[in-house]
Amino acid sequence: MKAWLLDDFRGLEALRFADEVATPNPKGGEVLVRIAVAGLNPADRYLSEKLYPARPPFPHVLGRDGSGIVEATGEGVKNFKPGDKVALLRGDAGVERWGSLAEFVSVPAEVVVPVPEGWTMEEAAAAPLVYLTAWQALTQWEPLEAGAPVVISGISGGVGLASLHLCKAMGLSVAGLTRSEKKGAELVDNHGLDVAFNPGSATLKKQIRDFAGRRGVALYIDNVAGPLFNVVIETLGKDGRVSCVGRLAGEVPDFNTARLFFKRIRIGGVSAGDYSSSAAHAAWDHIVEYMTAFGKRPVIDSVHPFTELLAAFEQLREGPLGKVLVRVGDV
C-alpha cells in the first residue's frame, strides 16, 4: 500500500512517501479500513516533533482522523462487515499505532463508527477528534443556562468550529476570536457565530464585556493560550469556567491566581484521548444528534491530494477555516 512514513522526530519534513508498504492484516477484534479521506490535526505535527507524549516505534504512520470502507474484519468482529462505510472515532491510530495517512489502517472495531447518515466521507473524516474535544470542553462542567455567553479562541479552526456548532445547538451565545477579519465575517454570516473579535485588538476586553453583559462570560474555550489568556480571564463572570484545549500561541505569561479567587473561576484541562471507548461512543451519538437537529455538518477548509500532504500541513499551520483533509483513495 501507499503510506506516508515517519522515520524519526525531525518533524513533518522527515515524512517520506512510500508506495510498497505491506498492507496490515486485521488481528482478532480489528477491522481493516481502506481509507478514503484522512483529517489532519495539529497534534500530528506535535508528535512528529516529539512535542506529544506518544513515542511510537519507527517507521510510524501519522493520522488520527479518517473515513473509508471496511475491507476485511478480524476474528470475532460482529458489528462491521466488508463494504461498511466507517470513520475512526478515537484511539491509538496515528498515536501509538499506524494511522490514517495510508491506504489501509487496521484498528480495533470498538474505535470505529458508521459514517452518519447523509454525511460525505469528507465530513466524516473532518469530525471525530475535534467534535469529541469540543464536546468535552462544553460538558466537563455543569450545563450552562440558555443564552449564556461563551468565548472561543481559535474559532476558525477545527475545534473552534466544532465548539461553535455544539454551543449554538445548545442555545448558547458565542463570541469567537480570530486574527482574520475575513474569516470572522464568514463565520458570522454563514456559521451562526454571534460576533467575531480580533484577539489582537487593544479594546478586546471591553468588546467581550459588552458582548457578555452584566453576567460576564460563562465559559471560555481556549485553543490558543499565550498572553490572550490573561485578557479573556478578566471578562469571566461569577463561577466562570475555562476549558483549556490547546496552546497554539504558546505559554501563558505571568498568570496571577488571584484572578480566580473572588469569582470562584475554575480552569479545566481537556483531553479527548482520555475518553474511554464507551464514553467516546456515547459522546459521538449526542454530537451526531445535535448536528442533525441543528442542521449542521462539519466545515471543510480544503481537500488536498494524498501526495501533497506537506502542502496540506502548511495550510493547517497557516490557520484554516474548518478542517484540512487529504484524499487518500477513491472509495
Ligand X SMILES: NC(=O)c1ccc[n+]([C@@H]2O[C@H](COP(=O)([O-])OP(=O)(O)OC[C@H]3O[C@@H](n4cnc5c(N)ncnc54)[C@H](OP(=O)(O)O)[C@@H]3O)[C@@H](O)[C@H]2O)c1
Residues at the site binding ligand X, with contacts judged by CB under 6 A = 41-43, 129-130, 133, 154, 156-160, 178-180, 183, 223-224, 245-249, 270-272, 316, 319-320
At closest approach, how far in Å is the CB of 248 from ligand X? 4
Nearer to ligand X, 85 or 183 (CB): 183
283 in helix, strand or coil?
Answer: helix
Cross-strand pairs, 323: 300
Nearer to ligand X, 36 or 47 (CB): 47
At closest approach, how far in Å is the CB of 155 from ligand X? 7
At closest approach, how far in Å is the CB of 244 from ligand X? 8
Grid look-up 490514517 returns 100
CA atoms of 261 and 214, how far apart (whole Å):
19
At closest approach, how far in Å is the CB of 185 from ligand X? 12
At closest approach, how far in Å is the CB of 219 from ligand X? 16
CA atoms of 78 and 257, how far apart (whole Å):
52
CA atoms of 27 and 160, how far apart (whole Å):
36
DSSP state of 96: T
At closest approach, how far in Å is the CB of 326 from ligand X? 14
Question: DSSP strand E in the chain: where?
Answer: 3-6, 15-18, 30-39, 65-73, 85-88, 104-108, 112-114, 149-153, 173-177, 195-197, 217-222, 236-244, 266-269, 300-305, 323-327
Nearer to ligand X, 56 or 184 (CB): 184
At closest approach, how far in Å is the CB of 169 from ligand X? 18
Nearer to ligand X, 218 or 321 (CB): 321
102 in helix, strand or coil?
Answer: strand
DSSP state of 154: S
**Number of residue whose CB is nearest ligand X:** 157
266 in helix, strand or coil?
Answer: strand
At closest approach, how far in Å is the CB of 321 from ligand X? 7
Asked if omega into 59 is within 30° of 0 (cis), the reply is: yes
Nearer to ligand X, 120 or 180 (CB): 180
Nearer to ligand X, 248 or 260 (CB): 248
Nearer to ligand X, 41 or 235 (CB): 41
Which of 279, 151, 142 lies closest to 209, judged by CA? 151
CB 121 within 8 A of CB 115: yes
Nearer to ligand X, 203 or 271 (CB): 271
Nearer to ligand X, 35 or 129 (CB): 129
Cross-strand pairs, 87: 67, 113
CA atoms of 156 and 320, how far apart (whole Å):
7
At closest approach, how far in Å is the CB of 262 from ligand X? 28
CA atoms of 105 and 98, how far apart (whole Å):
7
Burial class (CB in 10 A: 0-12, 13-18, 19+), 218: buried
